[in-house]
Structure 1
Amino acid sequence: MVARVLCILGVIYIHLPPYTNEFPDPFLGAGGLFWFVRHGIGFASVPLLSAIAGYLAARPSPNASQGLQVRRKASSLLLPMILWNCIALCKDMAEHGMLPDPYVANILNQIFALTDFPRVVPLYFLRDLFVCMLLTPLLIRCLKSQELLCLGLLLANAVFNLDGLLLLNSPIILFYSMGLAAASRPAPPDGGARPGFRHGLAVVATVGLSFLAEGLPGESPFAQEIRRSAFIANSLAVAMLFWALSRWLVSTGRAARITCVEPIMFFVFCSHTLAIGLLWALLRRAGVEPWSATYVAFFLVAPLVILAMCMAGGLIMSRLAPGPSRILMGGRFPTFRELSSQSRRLFNRGQDIGRK
């Protein structure tokens, strides 16, 4: 649970302004900091979320048939994706009076993410995760018979994007399968060593590898494959760091403050781009420039600000429209009482809230 919270907060860094994919030049400055945080934390958080999903999927409900499990996953993954995309499109219509032409021309993908990213881009993850869920029985069978061969083929798929339109982000199924493989092994004892020098060195080294890969000229297939390889190596290193940090927090009893917000994190994942858009508009109206010291400070603490906004929005939604809110969240949305309890437990330093 701790790792899941950390990863979703990390994903927020991907979608913060300034909205540019250009490699920072010069690197020493605000642009380099944004790039480092996005690559060192943001982009690498999604694969670990995939591994956690695979780990949990390896232990399905014993009384649920395959068909029932598919229906449950469709309502908990695809339905929220569709609803949030529709909400975002309605927001666009309210702002502009009509949908932008590119959205209209690609409306099916904007809503359903059939062959391209949807309107709320990060929600493609739910679409790809649903595909992985459908393939889980086959993946488990292959992993049991030839684990190394299976993971090697999935690694090749992640680097060379061999699955075509099956997945929008090919590495997801690799990390999902790693989670499936980990679930077949004995569970490690609670706790773990404090994240140490080797974890930090692995992250710095692989982010440096990403730095070099991004500097490759052109968009040739070779350059793209090198970039994807660097991304996978970086993701593995950050996954090691996050997992070690999570186990250490559990072992020290410091995880309770983090796990108390876990029930709201799916809502944070689905709504954070809309919250970022609102904050960005307010910052620009206040005269904050994207390269200023004020914005750099905001960028670093933005995940916590978004978390606070989502908890406040969740309290309002759970009070005014609890039924629609649960449908919007695929049945995951906590009640008003649960959200109120989370808020008290998060800010009440003297309350013993136990461990998870």
Structure 2
Amino acid sequence: MEQDNKELIACARGAAIFFVVYAHAYFGGHGMAGVNGEFDVISILRHALKDGLAHASVPALSVISGWLAAEISHRHTHLGLLVRKARTLVLPMVFWSVVTLIVYAIVGLVPYDPEFLRSQMPSSPLAWVNAFFGVSDAPFNGPLYFLRDLFVIFVIYVTFKKIIVARPVVTFLFGVALYLLEGVVVGHLEVQSVPVLFRPEVLGLFLIGVSVSKSDLRIRRVLSAPALTAICFGCLIVVVVAALLMLSDLGSEPTYQGISLKIQRAAGVGLLLSAAELIRTRRVGKLMIQLEPYAFVVFCSHAPILFVVAQLVGKVTGWSGESLILDVFFFGAPVLVYALAAGVVLSLRRVWPGAAEFVTGGRKPMEARR
């Protein structure tokens, strides 16, 4: 892969995982609309981050995963690629789900809270299996459903690789159709998963990423056009403003449904990728590239970290009020998680390199990839 493409992908992936943290950052029991359902600048910004860029981050990661799959798959046999992905996707999912369950158990035991334990701990043999492996329900560390879905998609990709790679334009159109069709299903039938995939849209976006890598399209030239960034940003703002006008309390309810959700996520993906191309050679872009090796640990660990910090913040500020501490926690959540993740990984690399490789899914420091 060209160095420019490596930098683009590293910058985009680092940024996407930075924003995905906002999807699970606690902001107070009053909901996204602020106290008494009234919107203000802070609540609007919270909404733009949480239901705007945060919810576009996993779709962006899906496109990036497809792009990378097409670039690296020729280096491995089909079986070798699946073994590699089991090591870098499935094992981290199991490990971080175990860590998350232990964290929740400690919170429920110190001090002892039987009601919390009953509501949070798996309650059946199947629930325990799902908690770690995500067979028929999301793993205990909820965001890691993406790793489980991605492994299933790699099985599909390996099975149909010759067809997928041979016709990049057809693959692109099929990916777009699958992405939009899933929006219709979600919007009209209220179905958010199928028996094989928790989020079927990930497959469509993955195929788009494969086609972008394998086609003759000069994708970086397209992404570097400031007009694309402006258009994507404008679409994202329009959808966000429309949601604010239509909904009085965004709370934990789905903000968008059907095609409107697809427009919002597509705009977010375009914005993340185009912005990454524009900034990758600048100071902020270089910083994001340097932080990218820690992004996987951030993705895997942000849910339990934010849960623990939210317990502490909630006890200090109250669970339903609005305070400066809550705002600082919400807006600073990605920085907090990145700092903790980088600290843990750097420490492990010094004292226990094997453990560092395991928790990062085998991902190497940036200097080792050159």
**TM-score using structure 1 length:** 0.81
The match for 1:62 among 74, 79, 102 is 74
The match for 1:127 among 138, 148, 155 is 148
Letter in 2 for 1:207: V
C-alpha distance in 2, partners of 1:239/1:152? 17
Structure with more contact order per residue of length (Cα contacts < 8 Å, sep ≥ 6): 2
C-alpha distance in 2, partners of 1:21/1:232? 27
Q: Secondary structure at the match of 1:100?
A: helix
Change (3 A) 1:286 1:154: closer
- Tell me whether 1:108 sits opposite 2:141 in the alignment: no
Are the aligned partners of 1:78 and 1:130 in contact in 2 as well (CA < 8 Å)? Answer: yes
| Structure 2: runs of 5 or more not aligned | 1-9
Q: Secondary structure at the match of 2:122?
A: helix
Letter in 1 for 2:263: A
Matched with 2:65 is 53
Question: C-alpha deviations, 1:265-312, integer Å up to 9, x for none?
Answer: 111111111221232234335447652133223322321222112212
Question: C-alpha deviations, 1:227-266, integer Å up to 9, x for none?
Answer: 0322211111111111121111125465212111111111
Matched with 2:206 is 176
Letter in 2 for 1:280: A
Greater CA drift, 139-148 or 251-260: 139-148
C-alpha distance in 2, partners of 1:34/1:226? 16
- Tell me whether 1:2 sits opposite 2:4 in the alignment: no
Question: C-alpha deviations, 1:159-211, integer Å up to 9, x for none?
Answer: 31586221111211121111111112234457824475433211111323555
C-alpha distance in 2, partners of 1:330/1:250? 25
Matched with 2:7 is none
Instruction: Calculate percent identity across the aligned residue pairs.
Output: 23
Greater CA drift, 322-331 or 237-246: 322-331
After TM superposition, give the deviation of residue 136 of structure 1 in Å: 1.4
Change (3 A) 1:309 1:126: same
- Tell me whether 1:313 sits opposite 2:313 in the alignment: no
Are the aligned partners of 2:130 and 2:139 in contact in 1 as well (CA < 8 Å)? Answer: yes
C-alpha distance in 1, partners of 2:307/2:256? 33
Are the aligned partners of 1:74 and 1:130 in contact in 2 as well (CA < 8 Å)? Answer: yes
Are the aligned partners of 1:210 and 1:227 in contact in 2 as well (CA < 8 Å)? Answer: no
Change (3 A) 1:155 1:212: farther
Letter in 1 for 2:50: R
Matched with 1:141 is 163
Relative to its length, the structure with more helix (as a share) is: 2
Are the aligned partners of 1:192 and 1:247 in contact in 2 as well (CA < 8 Å)? Answer: yes
Letter in 1 for 2:16: C
C-alpha distance in 2, partners of 1:119/1:267? 16
Change (3 A) 1:278 1:313: farther
- What value does the CA root-mean-square deviation take over the aligned residues? 3.3
C-alpha distance in 2, partners of 1:311/1:145? 39
| Structure 1: runs of 5 or more not aligned | 217-222, 343-355
Greater CA drift, 183-192 or 312-321: 183-192
Greater CA drift, 199-208 or 237-246: 199-208
Letter in 2 for 1:100: R
Letter in 1 for 2:224: G
The match for 1:326 among 353, 357, 366 is 357
Letter in 2 for 1:13: Y
Matched with 1:242 is 272
Matched with 2:303 is 273
C-alpha distance in 2, partners of 1:225/1:284? 24
Letter in 2 for 1:122: P
